[in-house]
Amino acid sequence: MSRVIRIATRKSPLALAQTRWVAERIRRRAPDVTVEEVHIVTKGDQIIDQPLAKIGGKGLFISEVEATLVDGRADLAVHSMKDVPDELVEGFDILCVPEREDPRDVLVSVGGKELSELHQGAIIGTSSLRRSCQLRAARPDLRFKVLRGNVGTRLRKLDEGQYDAIVLAYAGMLRLGLDQERELWALPEDTSVPAVGQGALGIEGKVDDAGLRDLLVDLEHPATRLAVEAERAYLSRLQGSCTTPIAAFARFDDDGETRMRIDGMVGSVDGETLLNASTDGYVDAPDHAARLQQAARMGVELAEMQLDRGAAELIQAAKSTEDPYLIGPYGPH
C-alpha cells in the first residue's frame, strides 16, 4: 500500500509554490507516494496591518504550521529558513535543506530603477528593520513606510502609487515566476546583507521517521545546509530580537565547497549605526557532522567579533525600544 504524505502549508501563493515544488520532487523519487496539502491560516496571515515585529515576529508563521505536525494532521512542513526559530518542538527537526535560491533582496519599482536612480526623498515600502537600516545607510534621504501582505498585495500597493519602490526577497519573486513580469534590481550583498537563511527552505518532520528522510535525500544540499548553519549560529549567539536589525550571509568561495566566507551586520534600531564584519575559513572536516560544527563555529566567531565592537549595546537598545517604527528610518522627516 502506497504511503500518503501530508504537507502543512500556509495558503499564500508563495507558501503554496514552495510546498508544491517539494511535493513534485517527492513524487519524482517515489511515484507511488500520494502527497496531500494541509492548509493553515496563521495569525501572521490574519494580521496584515501591523509589522510582524510588533505582533510576535516571524515565528508566527511557523508555530501554527508546526502544530499540525505535533498533533498528527501533517507529516511535513515546508518553511522559509529565515522564519525558523532557534529551537523546534521536541521530536522534530529540519530533515532537509534544499539548494538555496538567490538570497539577495530586490528593489522593485516602476521602470526597474536602481537604488541610486530613485529620486530624492523616495518612499520605500518595507517592514524589515534590517532592510531599512541598511538602505538608509546607503541613501540617507530615503523615507520608509511599513509594507505587509503577500507578494501580490505588496506589488499592487506599489502599482497604486503608495510607494516609489518596495523591497522584497529575490527568492520569492523567482519562485513565483514574477522575475519575468517585473523589472527588478537586485541589491548587492554589500549594500543589503540578506537575512539569516533568506532564500533557503527547510523541510520539518519527525526526527525518527527514516522513511521521510529517505524520500527527501535527493533534495538535501549540503553546501546550503552548512551556510545556513553558520548564519543561524551567528544569530543565536547574538541573541537578538525581531526588532533588532541583524543580517548574515555565508557562502563558499570555491567550487570545492571547502572555504566559506560569512558577512554579518548588526544595526541600531534608529538606523544611525551599522556594524559590518566578515570572516572566512575552511569547512573541510572529513564527515558532514563535523563540517556542520565547523560552520557553526565560524558563525559564533563572527558574532563574537560583532559583540566586541558594541553589538550587545545595539541589541539591548532595540529590545528596549517600545515602537521602532516611530523613529529612525520610519520616523518624521
Catalytic positions? 83
Report DSSP letters for 132-175, one per residue.
Answer: HHHHHHH-TT-EEE---S-HHHHHHHHHTTS-SEEEEEHHHHHH
> At residue 216, what are phi and psi to the nearest 5 degrees?
-100, 0
C-alpha cell at 260: 566559506
194 secondary structure, DSSP code: P
CA of 283: how far to CAs of 162, 223, 233, 236, in Å?
46, 10, 15, 20
* Measured distance CA(185)–CA(105) in Å, rounded: 9
Cβ contacts of 194 within 8 Å, gap of 6 or more: 103, 104, 105, 247, 248, 249
Cβ contacts of 58 within 8 Å, gap of 6 or more: 44, 52, 82, 83, 242
102 secondary structure, DSSP code: P
Count of Cβ atoms closer than 10 Å to residue 48 Cβ: 11
Residue 321: strand, helix, or coil: coil
* Measured distance CA(298)–CA(152) in Å, rounded: 37
Where would I find the H helices in the chain?
13-29, 43-46, 52-55, 60-70, 129-138, 151-159, 170-175, 210-216, 222-238, 288-308, 311-320
| One-letter amino acid for residue 126 of the chain | T
CA of 209: how far to CAs of 15, 24, 78, 92, 175, in Å?
24, 20, 16, 10, 28
C-alpha cell at 84: 525558523
